[in-house]
Chain A
Amino acid sequence: MNRSHLARRILLTAVAALIWLPLAGCLFEPRTPELPSSGQDIPYLPQTSPINVWENLQTALNYSDSFGWENNIHEDFVYIPDSDTQSQYPGVFVDWGKEREMSFISNFFNSGSTNIAEMRNTEFVVPDPGGTEARWEGVIYYLRVQEAGNGGETRFRASAIINFVLDGNDWYVNRWEDQVGEDDPDTGQPLPTMGVLRATFGSN
């Protein structure tokens, strides 16, 4: 390498560094958090099994914590709505991946509602995970959403097929396929799936 080539390479590297250095210090500095108030842990479980991951989604709903939702959803996540919701919101669920899912959950949690979630019915027998994938067929979840303004309650209850995948050292949900809305345990009326909630908050 001759001297001019070396000089030019140094110059180019210096240009790149000069662009980066002023940015690094201030622009990418996170804000300082408040010290935690006692007894306020959000009790997430380690993502060492599908059942822990599903529990974490329940916890994320109950605490309206989008970090918790995001951390348990895989990068290749896919959501498939039930046919009722699909026909009610045509076109909304095309290519519903993690980005749309996070947009939905962020908008939903920002609405300020209070959520009570039971993500698994007591009769559901959790299959043992084997290898790097697990599939839960027919798990029934139940979500009650109390509006921030007037406290009115909206309920969602449905059976779903959930696929989990082990990526790195952690399990994630990578496919959520709603099957059909289940009956309200109190009134016996059929309830919608969370696809309706996704369409409402995720389509905007």
Chain B
Amino acid sequence: MRSPSPFGRTALLTSLLLLGLLGLHVPVVGAQDAADAPADTLQAVNEPTAGGLKGAAEGAKTGTGKKVAGPGDRTTMAPGEEPFFKSFENSPKFGIQTNATSNAYYGEFSSILNMRGSARVTNDLKYRWSDFRQQIKTTESRTLQSSYSSGTQLPVSVTLNAGRDWNEDLTTNSSGTENVSRRDNSRASLGLNVPVLTWQDINFTVKSSSGLTDNKSVTQGQRNDVSEAFLNGAMKVGTEIREGVSIAGRFYGRTASGERNLGDFTSNSSATTDSVGFGVYYDRNFANGRVSLTRGNFERRYLDYRRNANGIIDTLGRAEDEKVVDEIEFNDALSMELVNETRLLGITFQSELSHTMNESDFAVSLVGLKERLQQEADFAMGFEAFGDTFNVSYSYLWKWDDQQQKTQTSRRGRQYTKERDFNFYYGRTLFKATDLTFKYHTGLGQNTAENGYLNTDKDRLRNDYSLRLDRDWSDVFSTDALLSYSENQDIALNATRSSNNNNKESYEIAPGYRWTISDRVELQQKYRIYIQYTDYFFSELEGSSRVDDYNKRGNLTTTVDIVATERLDLTVRHDFNKRFNADKSKVDAAGNAGYFVNQRQRINKIDLSFTFDVTEGVTLEGSTYSTLDEKTSIANVERVTERREGKIWVGAKVNRTWGESENMELSALVRKHNGYGPSLSEANANYWETDVWFKWSF
């Protein structure tokens, strides 16, 4: 389908909008920048549950925002007292970065022209080249970005942006096939933001932008170019109907049209999107909250490769003229939410209810129609009394999704998800400098297919308990202790999958202390014992190959921090780790289980690191670690393996400035890494790490 003269239409619309806005009589009382309006309704439609619709609802609220100084607020500035051009600064920067992954060289040049009324012009020019060490790959990028913002010079806020990004990625795979991925993106845009207009106690905020994008790319020898012009506009309207109660609405629209080239094919492309939001907001007496409703949709027309039911490009074996199609994509979304917080008699009650619906469809792609619905309810209550703190919360999520692929005559069937979570928190200062906290969580997640067609229905139950005691015995000595238990059940409902159903129970005890021995020495020790039992529900059945097991772990970490001199800091750390894995081997008549230990492991690791301040801005540093890993596997025969691994790096950090206004800066970090051990590849065992750059401002 062809769009008539896309650039001309958008340019005309932009001009009309500009004339309309500039022709308005603006009662200059201040403004609030509508920066929180979604930049693109597509975003609002695509992310209905998070930033999009929620953001839109929040954005609608700001239509009633407080009046603050902003564009056009001539009551707060005296232009005659300032020169038109206030300052002009240029900053070239050059640098090198190397590490185990890549070597890179880069250069940047930025300039900023500051003008009267906070207006400014900025230019940024960047170049970067990288060579990857662990694969045959190089990347190169060049970026130019220019912008102008009018500050408070004009009655409306005007922003102009123009930029170009070029990047190229050359990668060769293990078969020697080289792939070139190249992108060249040019763009320009004009943004207008009108201060808050007030009429009959109703506030209006208007924002608009228009621009051009030209994106050329080549991937695997195929061109994929898009040239489009766009225009969007947003308006917020809001008023306070009673003290502490406001209503607000938000309208947003965007249109884009242009041309797209894909392979050897060319066609027009277009997109129209819009969204509407309405909300009631209150904040009075003991309660605050909002009720909001937002609806958004888009329609996009573009050239695309033929895609299969999984959305994957599917052109193999097709004639050339069948590989590319004129696609039309639709999306509709609706979101409602109700949020409330009430504080009564020292108790805070919070509730949040939300409902989101989303539907998308394609004209050609075999992905076809997709529908999604999500409802969520969260409730929380908390209070503090006489040193006790209680928090209780419960949340419930219910959602489903469905799909009808183009090749199917009926829908797939809904996939339902239910999630429930309950949290309880209790905190109390038992006595002086001694705090007790108790946490409890239980959660159940359930997945169900409408027709059970995939046999993947499942439940997951989780229970967590933890008790923690913290005590500061003195300014130099403190202790903490953690006791926890958790249970995690994986339950597949269908007979073809239920043999793996299991319950994992974990117990943990972790005491520790911190002792500041002197101004120069601090000692920390943490001991942790952990055991996890895995019980398969159906391991006793004949034919089951699942075996119940447990694993235990003990870990002692000792850290000593030493301030040796004014310039020298040292840290020594030792980890001792001991593990056992065992399978259940028998159950006696009394029901007591016996386990056979099939693996023992002991790991010792010692770290030593230092930093030494040579002079102001110059630091020497280094670190080394050594690990001994002894593992004994016990089956028919006992097999012992011993692995040693270590690494050392030394380097220096320099940060120096020169010049009367310290306008020249050198930053350098250079480290040499050397390591050994079975898990270190050659690239990771021996390399230089550098990050050196020089910057000059004038």
Contact = CB atoms under 8 A, between A and B. Distances in A.
A, B: real partners: yes
Nearest to B541: A36
A183 B171 contact: no
A188 B174 CA distance: 12
B629 A130 contact: yes
Contacts of B105: none
B181 interface: yes
A148 B454 CA distance: 11
Given A30-B444, A110-B415, A129-B679, A36 B456 contact: no
Contacts of A48: 581, 599
B459 interface: yes
A97 to B, nearest CB: 14
B312 interface: yes
Given A12-B385, A42-B497, A111-B309, 14 more contacts: A5-B386, A16-B424, A19-B392, A20-B392, A28-B422, A31-B493, A34-B493, A36-B501, A110-B415, A131-B627, A131-B629, A147-B309, A168-B553, A180-B137
A145 B366 CA distance: 16
B551 interface: yes
Contacts of B506: 168
Contact of A130 (B447, B460, B678): B678
Interface string A104-129: 00110111110000000000000111
B310 A67 contact: no
6 contacts: A16-B392, A41-B500, A41-B544, A87-B217, A88-B219, A110-B415
Interface string B296-312: 00000000000011111
B351 to A, nearest CB: 13
Interface in A128-168: 128-135, 137-138, 140, 145, 147-150, 152, 154, 159, 161, 168
A33 B181 CA distance: 50
A27 B422 CA distance: 10
Given A20-B424, A127-B679, A190-B173, A44 B500 contact: yes
Contacts of A197: 310, 312
Given A127-B678, A183-B173, A36 B314 contact: no
B87 interface: no
A111 B311 CA distance: 11
Nearest to A133: B679
A71 to B, nearest CB: 8
B106 interface: no
Contacts of A88: 219
Contacts of B677: 130
A37 B456 CA distance: 15
Interface stretch (B228-236, B404-412, B474-482, B518-526): B404-412
A128 B678 contact: yes
Given A46-B581, A149-B309, A152-B308, A37 B627 contact: no
Interface bracket on A: 35 or more
Interface string B599-627: 10001010000000000000000000001
B645 A130 contact: yes
Contacts of B490: 67, 71
A145 B310 contact: yes
Contacts of A128: 643, 678-679
Interface in B536-562: 537-538, 541-546, 549, 551-553
Interface string B457-501: 111110000000000000000000000000001111111111111
Interface stretch (B9-17, B274-282, B664-672, B680-688): B680-688
Q: Which of B310, B424, B489 has the most CB of A within 10 A?
A: B310
A66 interface: yes
A3 interface: no
B350 to A, nearest CB: 14
Contacts of A152: 308-309, 314
Interface string A36-61: 11111111101010000000000000
B174 A182 contact: yes
Interface string B238-277: 0000000000000000000000000000000000000000
B453 interface: yes
Contacts of A169: 530, 532, 551-553, 579, 581
Contact of A40 (B444, B495, B680): B495
B429 interface: no
Contacts of B313: 192, 196
Contacts of B551: 169-170
A83 B493 contact: no
Contacts of A87: 169, 181, 183, 217, 219
B388 A12 contact: yes
A46 B311 CA distance: 34
A131 B605 contact: yes
